[in-house]
Structure 1
Protein backbone atom coordinates (compact mmCIF):
# COMPACT_ATOMS: atom_id res chain seq x y z
CA UNK A 1 0.00 0.00 0.00
CA UNK A 2 1.31 3.44 -0.98
CA UNK A 3 0.15 7.04 -0.68
CA UNK A 4 1.32 8.62 -3.94
CA UNK A 5 3.65 11.00 -2.09
CA UNK A 6 7.02 10.63 -3.82
CA UNK A 7 10.01 10.22 -1.49
CA UNK A 8 12.85 10.58 -3.93
CA UNK A 9 13.83 10.73 -7.58
CA UNK A 10 15.87 7.68 -8.42
CA UNK A 11 18.28 7.46 -11.35
CA UNK A 12 18.27 4.39 -13.58
CA UNK A 13 21.84 3.07 -13.41
CA UNK A 14 21.46 -0.16 -15.38
CA UNK A 15 18.82 -2.03 -17.39
CA UNK A 16 19.37 -5.73 -17.97
CA UNK A 17 16.94 -7.88 -19.97
CA UNK A 18 16.88 -11.60 -19.24
CA UNK A 19 14.27 -14.21 -20.26
CA UNK A 20 11.52 -11.62 -20.83
CA UNK A 21 12.22 -9.87 -17.53
CA UNK A 22 13.79 -6.47 -17.02
CA UNK A 23 16.21 -6.08 -14.09
CA UNK A 24 16.29 -2.40 -13.15
CA UNK A 25 19.14 -1.04 -11.04
CA UNK A 26 18.37 2.28 -9.36
CA UNK A 27 20.52 4.83 -7.51
CA UNK A 28 18.65 6.75 -4.84
CA UNK A 29 19.35 8.57 -1.58
CA UNK A 30 17.20 6.06 0.34
CA UNK A 31 18.98 2.89 -0.82
CA UNK A 32 20.71 2.51 2.58
CA UNK A 33 17.25 2.31 4.21
CA UNK A 34 16.01 -0.51 1.95
CA UNK A 35 16.19 -4.25 2.45
CA UNK A 36 15.79 -7.30 0.23
CA UNK A 37 12.10 -8.28 -0.32
CA UNK A 38 10.88 -4.74 0.40
CA UNK A 39 8.16 -3.28 -1.85
CA UNK A 40 9.06 -0.03 -3.60
CA UNK A 41 6.95 1.86 -6.15
CA UNK A 42 8.75 2.97 -9.33
CA UNK A 43 6.66 5.45 -11.34
CA UNK A 44 3.76 3.95 -9.41
CA UNK A 45 4.62 0.31 -10.11
CA UNK A 46 5.11 -1.86 -7.02
CA UNK A 47 8.28 -3.96 -7.43
CA UNK A 48 10.29 -6.07 -4.98
CA UNK A 49 13.89 -5.26 -4.09
CA UNK A 50 15.95 -8.30 -5.14
CA UNK A 51 19.47 -6.95 -4.64
CA UNK A 52 21.37 -4.11 -2.95
CA UNK A 53 24.93 -3.05 -3.80
CA UNK A 54 26.34 0.11 -2.23
CA UNK A 55 24.03 3.00 -3.05
CA UNK A 56 22.07 1.10 -5.74
CA UNK A 57 19.38 -1.56 -5.58
CA UNK A 58 17.79 -3.83 -8.17
CA UNK A 59 14.18 -4.77 -8.86
CA UNK A 60 12.73 -7.05 -11.54
CA UNK A 61 9.75 -6.30 -13.80
CA UNK A 62 8.17 -9.31 -15.51
CA UNK A 63 6.84 -9.19 -19.07
CA UNK A 64 3.22 -8.55 -17.99
CA UNK A 65 4.37 -5.50 -16.05
CA UNK A 66 6.38 -4.30 -19.04
CA UNK A 67 3.33 -4.74 -21.30
CA UNK A 68 1.03 -2.68 -19.06
CA UNK A 69 3.36 0.10 -17.85
CA UNK A 70 5.99 2.54 -19.08
CA UNK A 71 8.84 0.68 -17.36
CA UNK A 72 9.88 -0.97 -20.63
CA UNK A 73 10.50 2.52 -22.05
CA UNK A 74 13.01 3.48 -19.34
CA UNK A 75 16.53 4.42 -20.37
CA UNK A 76 19.72 4.53 -18.33
CA UNK A 77 20.31 7.87 -16.53
CA UNK A 78 16.57 8.72 -16.62
CA UNK A 79 14.70 9.66 -13.45
CA UNK A 80 12.07 7.47 -11.82
CA UNK A 81 9.67 8.42 -9.01
CA UNK A 82 10.38 6.38 -5.85
CA UNK A 83 8.08 5.66 -2.92
CA UNK A 84 8.42 3.00 -0.24
CA UNK A 85 5.32 1.21 1.06
CA UNK A 86 3.58 3.13 3.81
CA UNK A 87 3.94 2.10 7.43
CA UNK A 88 0.89 1.17 9.46
CA UNK A 89 0.00 4.20 11.56
CA UNK A 90 1.50 6.79 9.18
CA UNK A 91 -0.50 9.72 7.86
CA UNK A 92 -2.13 9.12 4.49
CA UNK A 93 -1.10 12.39 2.85
CA UNK A 94 -2.05 11.37 -0.71
CA UNK A 95 -4.69 8.70 -1.29
CA UNK A 96 -4.84 4.89 -1.17
CA UNK A 97 -2.48 3.66 -3.90
CA UNK A 98 -1.91 -0.04 -4.53
CA UNK A 99 1.07 0.20 -6.86
CA UNK A 100 -0.87 -1.75 -9.52
CA UNK A 101 -0.94 0.25 -12.72
CA UNK A 102 -4.24 0.07 -14.62
CA UNK A 103 -3.00 1.40 -17.94
CA UNK A 104 -0.72 3.90 -19.63
CA UNK A 105 -1.58 7.33 -20.97
CA UNK A 106 0.06 9.96 -23.15
CA UNK A 107 0.73 13.58 -22.21
CA UNK A 108 -1.14 15.61 -24.84
CA UNK A 109 -0.86 19.16 -23.49
CA UNK A 110 1.21 21.21 -21.04
CA UNK A 111 0.09 24.71 -20.07
CA UNK A 112 2.19 27.02 -17.93
CA UNK A 113 0.10 29.06 -15.52
CA UNK A 114 1.16 31.68 -12.96
CA UNK A 115 3.57 29.58 -10.90
CA UNK A 116 2.07 26.20 -11.81
CA UNK A 117 1.46 23.84 -14.73
CA UNK A 118 -1.59 22.06 -16.15
CA UNK A 119 -0.78 18.66 -17.67
CA UNK A 120 -3.37 16.88 -19.79
CA UNK A 121 -3.31 13.13 -20.42
CA UNK A 122 -5.23 10.94 -22.84
CA UNK A 123 -5.86 7.22 -22.31
CA UNK A 124 -7.60 4.31 -24.04
CA UNK A 125 -11.27 4.49 -23.01
CA UNK A 126 -11.86 0.90 -24.15
CA UNK A 127 -10.22 -0.35 -20.94
CA UNK A 128 -13.24 1.12 -19.07
CA UNK A 129 -11.34 3.19 -16.51
CA UNK A 130 -12.85 6.49 -15.47
CA UNK A 131 -11.93 9.70 -13.70
CA UNK A 132 -14.23 12.10 -11.90
CA UNK A 133 -13.87 15.81 -11.36
CA UNK A 134 -11.87 16.44 -8.16
CA UNK A 135 -11.29 12.68 -7.77
CA UNK A 136 -7.92 11.06 -7.16
CA UNK A 137 -5.58 9.72 -9.84
CA UNK A 138 -2.01 8.46 -9.71
CA UNK A 139 0.29 9.54 -12.56
CA UNK A 140 3.70 7.81 -12.50
CA UNK A 141 3.04 7.13 -8.82
CA UNK A 142 2.18 10.75 -7.91
CA UNK A 143 -1.13 11.23 -6.06
CA UNK A 144 -3.04 14.03 -7.79
CA UNK A 145 -6.49 15.60 -8.07
CA UNK A 146 -8.31 15.38 -11.39
CA UNK A 147 -9.40 18.58 -13.11
CA UNK A 148 -11.31 18.68 -16.38
CA UNK A 149 -12.41 15.03 -16.33
CA UNK A 150 -13.53 13.79 -19.75
CA UNK A 151 -14.34 10.40 -21.29
CA UNK A 152 -10.73 9.48 -22.15
CA UNK A 153 -8.68 12.41 -20.90
CA UNK A 154 -8.12 14.49 -17.80
CA UNK A 155 -5.85 17.22 -16.52
CA UNK A 156 -3.94 17.75 -13.29
CA UNK A 157 -2.54 20.96 -11.80
CA UNK A 158 1.09 20.72 -10.68
CA UNK A 159 2.60 23.04 -8.07
CA UNK A 160 6.31 23.96 -8.23
CA UNK A 161 7.30 21.57 -5.42
CA UNK A 162 5.76 18.56 -7.21
CA UNK A 163 7.20 19.68 -10.54
CA UNK A 164 10.73 19.99 -9.14
CA UNK A 165 10.70 16.79 -7.04
CA UNK A 166 9.12 14.29 -9.46
CA UNK A 167 9.46 13.18 -13.07
CA UNK A 168 6.90 15.83 -14.08
CA UNK A 169 9.86 18.14 -14.71
CA UNK A 170 10.92 15.82 -17.57
CA UNK A 171 7.49 15.44 -19.23
CA UNK A 172 6.93 16.61 -22.78
CA UNK A 173 3.98 16.24 -25.12
CA UNK A 174 4.08 12.58 -26.12
CA UNK A 175 5.53 11.30 -22.82
CA UNK A 176 4.02 7.93 -21.78
CA UNK A 177 2.95 7.69 -18.13
CA UNK A 178 1.51 5.05 -15.81
CA UNK A 179 -2.02 5.54 -14.45
CA UNK A 180 -3.56 4.00 -11.37
CA UNK A 181 -7.19 5.00 -11.04
CA UNK A 182 -8.75 5.49 -7.59
CA UNK A 183 -9.33 2.07 -5.98
CA UNK A 184 -12.66 3.09 -4.41
CA UNK A 185 -13.86 4.42 -7.75
CA UNK A 186 -12.86 1.15 -9.43
CA UNK A 187 -14.95 -0.88 -6.97
CA UNK A 188 -17.96 1.43 -7.33
CA UNK A 189 -17.74 1.22 -11.13
CA UNK A 190 -17.43 -2.58 -11.00
CA UNK A 191 -20.49 -2.89 -8.74
CA UNK A 192 -22.45 -0.60 -11.02
CA UNK A 193 -21.39 -2.62 -14.09
CA UNK A 194 -22.56 -5.85 -12.39
CA UNK A 195 -26.00 -4.34 -11.73
CA UNK A 196 -26.48 -3.42 -15.40
Structure 2
Protein backbone atom coordinates (compact mmCIF):
# COMPACT_ATOMS: atom_id res chain seq x y z
CA UNK A 1 0.00 0.00 0.00
CA UNK A 2 1.46 3.32 -1.07
CA UNK A 3 -0.22 6.50 0.10
CA UNK A 4 0.24 9.63 -2.00
CA UNK A 5 -1.17 13.11 -1.68
CA UNK A 6 -2.34 14.78 -4.89
CA UNK A 7 -5.07 17.15 -5.99
CA UNK A 8 -8.41 15.47 -6.72
CA UNK A 9 -7.97 16.24 -10.42
CA UNK A 10 -4.60 14.45 -10.39
CA UNK A 11 -6.07 11.52 -8.44
CA UNK A 12 -8.88 11.05 -10.98
CA UNK A 13 -6.38 11.28 -13.86
CA UNK A 14 -4.10 8.73 -12.15
CA UNK A 15 -7.02 6.37 -11.56
CA UNK A 16 -8.02 6.69 -15.21
CA UNK A 17 -4.43 6.07 -16.40
CA UNK A 18 -3.99 3.03 -14.15
CA UNK A 19 -1.39 4.77 -11.96
CA UNK A 20 -3.65 4.28 -8.91
CA UNK A 21 -5.81 1.30 -7.99
CA UNK A 22 -7.88 3.18 -5.40
CA UNK A 23 -8.28 6.82 -4.50
CA UNK A 24 -9.90 8.64 -1.60
CA UNK A 25 -11.34 12.06 -2.38
CA UNK A 26 -14.61 13.96 -2.30
CA UNK A 27 -17.52 13.70 -4.68
CA UNK A 28 -18.83 14.41 -7.26
CA UNK A 29 -17.13 11.97 -9.61
CA UNK A 30 -16.38 13.23 -13.12
CA UNK A 31 -16.57 9.79 -14.78
CA UNK A 32 -19.41 7.23 -14.69
CA UNK A 33 -16.80 4.45 -15.00
CA UNK A 34 -15.69 5.08 -11.41
CA UNK A 35 -17.27 3.01 -8.66
CA UNK A 36 -17.68 4.78 -5.33
CA UNK A 37 -17.96 3.68 -1.72
CA UNK A 38 -18.99 6.62 0.46
CA UNK A 39 -17.17 6.61 3.77
CA UNK A 40 -17.62 10.05 5.32
CA UNK A 41 -19.63 13.25 5.10
CA UNK A 42 -18.36 16.63 6.26
CA UNK A 43 -20.26 19.87 6.53
CA UNK A 44 -18.60 22.88 4.88
CA UNK A 45 -18.01 25.71 7.32
CA UNK A 46 -16.79 29.24 6.85
CA UNK A 47 -13.26 29.92 8.02
CA UNK A 48 -11.95 33.42 8.60
CA UNK A 49 -8.58 34.73 9.76
CA UNK A 50 -8.57 35.32 13.53
CA UNK A 51 -9.72 38.85 14.29
CA UNK A 52 -11.13 39.46 10.80
CA UNK A 53 -14.15 41.81 10.77
CA UNK A 54 -15.96 39.26 8.59
CA UNK A 55 -15.65 36.68 11.36
CA UNK A 56 -17.76 38.82 13.70
CA UNK A 57 -20.85 38.83 11.47
CA UNK A 58 -23.43 36.14 10.92
CA UNK A 59 -22.19 33.10 9.05
CA UNK A 60 -24.09 34.06 5.92
CA UNK A 61 -22.64 34.00 2.45
CA UNK A 62 -24.61 36.78 0.76
CA UNK A 63 -22.29 39.34 -0.82
CA UNK A 64 -19.16 37.83 0.74
CA UNK A 65 -15.66 37.55 -0.76
CA UNK A 66 -14.43 33.97 -0.51
CA UNK A 67 -11.15 32.37 -1.45
CA UNK A 68 -11.46 29.17 -3.46
CA UNK A 69 -9.20 26.65 -5.13
CA UNK A 70 -8.58 26.92 -8.88
CA UNK A 71 -11.09 24.94 -10.93
CA UNK A 72 -8.38 22.46 -11.96
CA UNK A 73 -8.05 21.30 -8.33
CA UNK A 74 -11.34 19.35 -8.55
CA UNK A 75 -13.41 20.52 -11.56
CA UNK A 76 -16.58 18.60 -10.68
CA UNK A 77 -16.56 19.81 -7.06
CA UNK A 78 -15.77 23.37 -8.16
CA UNK A 79 -18.83 23.38 -10.43
CA UNK A 80 -21.01 21.87 -7.67
CA UNK A 81 -20.04 24.54 -5.11
CA UNK A 82 -20.50 27.41 -7.57
CA UNK A 83 -23.91 26.08 -8.61
CA UNK A 84 -25.00 25.51 -4.99
CA UNK A 85 -24.03 29.07 -4.07
CA UNK A 86 -25.11 30.86 -7.25
CA UNK A 87 -27.90 32.79 -5.50
CA UNK A 88 -25.59 34.28 -2.85
CA UNK A 89 -23.78 36.97 -4.88
CA UNK A 90 -20.34 35.72 -3.82
CA UNK A 91 -17.18 37.37 -5.09
CA UNK A 92 -14.83 34.43 -5.70
CA UNK A 93 -11.10 35.01 -5.32
CA UNK A 94 -8.97 32.23 -6.83
CA UNK A 95 -6.06 30.93 -4.74
CA UNK A 96 -2.90 30.97 -6.89
CA UNK A 97 -1.73 27.61 -5.51
CA UNK A 98 -3.48 24.22 -5.45
CA UNK A 99 -3.13 22.95 -1.90
CA UNK A 100 -5.23 23.15 1.24
CA UNK A 101 -2.25 24.63 3.10
CA UNK A 102 -1.92 27.39 0.50
CA UNK A 103 -5.65 28.09 0.66
CA UNK A 104 -5.42 28.72 4.40
CA UNK A 105 -2.20 30.74 4.08
CA UNK A 106 -3.71 33.02 1.40
CA UNK A 107 -7.00 33.41 3.29
CA UNK A 108 -5.03 34.72 6.27
CA UNK A 109 -2.77 36.88 4.11
CA UNK A 110 -5.69 38.41 2.15
CA UNK A 111 -7.94 38.60 5.25
CA UNK A 112 -10.88 36.89 3.56
CA UNK A 113 -12.92 33.80 4.30
CA UNK A 114 -12.94 30.39 2.71
CA UNK A 115 -14.99 27.22 2.91
CA UNK A 116 -13.44 24.31 4.76
CA UNK A 117 -14.66 20.88 5.95
CA UNK A 118 -15.93 20.90 9.52
CA UNK A 119 -13.23 18.43 10.57
CA UNK A 120 -10.71 21.27 10.07
CA UNK A 121 -11.62 22.32 13.62
CA UNK A 122 -9.57 19.37 14.86
CA UNK A 123 -6.33 20.60 13.21
CA UNK A 124 -4.43 22.73 15.78
CA UNK A 125 -2.50 24.70 13.14
CA UNK A 126 -5.77 25.86 11.62
CA UNK A 127 -7.54 26.77 14.83
CA UNK A 128 -4.68 29.06 15.82
CA UNK A 129 -4.94 30.98 12.53
CA UNK A 130 -8.66 30.74 11.77
CA UNK A 131 -12.08 31.17 13.30
CA UNK A 132 -14.56 28.55 12.08
CA UNK A 133 -18.23 29.40 11.73
CA UNK A 134 -21.03 27.01 10.86
CA UNK A 135 -22.99 28.24 7.85
CA UNK A 136 -26.52 29.35 8.68
CA UNK A 137 -27.62 28.61 5.12
CA UNK A 138 -27.20 26.82 2.82
CA UNK A 139 -26.11 23.60 4.45
CA UNK A 140 -23.31 22.31 2.20
CA UNK A 141 -22.01 18.78 2.75
CA UNK A 142 -18.93 17.20 1.20
CA UNK A 143 -19.14 13.46 0.68
CA UNK A 144 -15.83 11.58 0.81
CA UNK A 145 -15.52 8.24 -0.93
CA UNK A 146 -13.14 5.45 -1.78
CA UNK A 147 -13.10 5.09 -5.58
CA UNK A 148 -11.92 2.56 -8.15
CA UNK A 149 -12.46 1.74 -11.81
CA UNK A 150 -15.57 -0.43 -12.19
CA UNK A 151 -13.63 -3.10 -14.07
CA UNK A 152 -10.66 -3.33 -11.68
CA UNK A 153 -9.36 -6.93 -11.70
CA UNK A 154 -6.82 -6.97 -8.84
CA UNK A 155 -7.81 -9.27 -5.99
CA UNK A 156 -6.06 -7.10 -3.38
CA UNK A 157 -8.11 -4.06 -4.45
CA UNK A 158 -11.32 -6.08 -4.36
CA UNK A 159 -10.47 -7.37 -0.88
CA UNK A 160 -9.67 -3.90 0.49
CA UNK A 161 -12.91 -2.62 -1.05
CA UNK A 162 -14.86 -5.40 0.67
CA UNK A 163 -13.21 -4.66 4.03
CA UNK A 164 -14.04 -0.94 3.72
CA UNK A 165 -17.64 -1.73 2.74
CA UNK A 166 -18.09 -3.91 5.82
CA UNK A 167 -16.86 -1.33 8.33
CA UNK A 168 -19.71 -0.88 10.82
CA UNK A 169 -19.52 2.90 11.02
CA UNK A 170 -17.86 4.19 7.87
CA UNK A 171 -19.02 7.72 8.66
CA UNK A 172 -17.67 7.75 12.23
CA UNK A 173 -14.34 9.44 11.56
CA UNK A 174 -14.55 11.52 14.71
CA UNK A 175 -11.43 12.50 16.68
TM-score under structure 2 length normalisation: 0.24
* Higher radius of gyration, 1 or 2: 2
More strand by share: 1
Structure of higher RCO (CA pairs closer than 8 Å, 6+ residues apart): 2
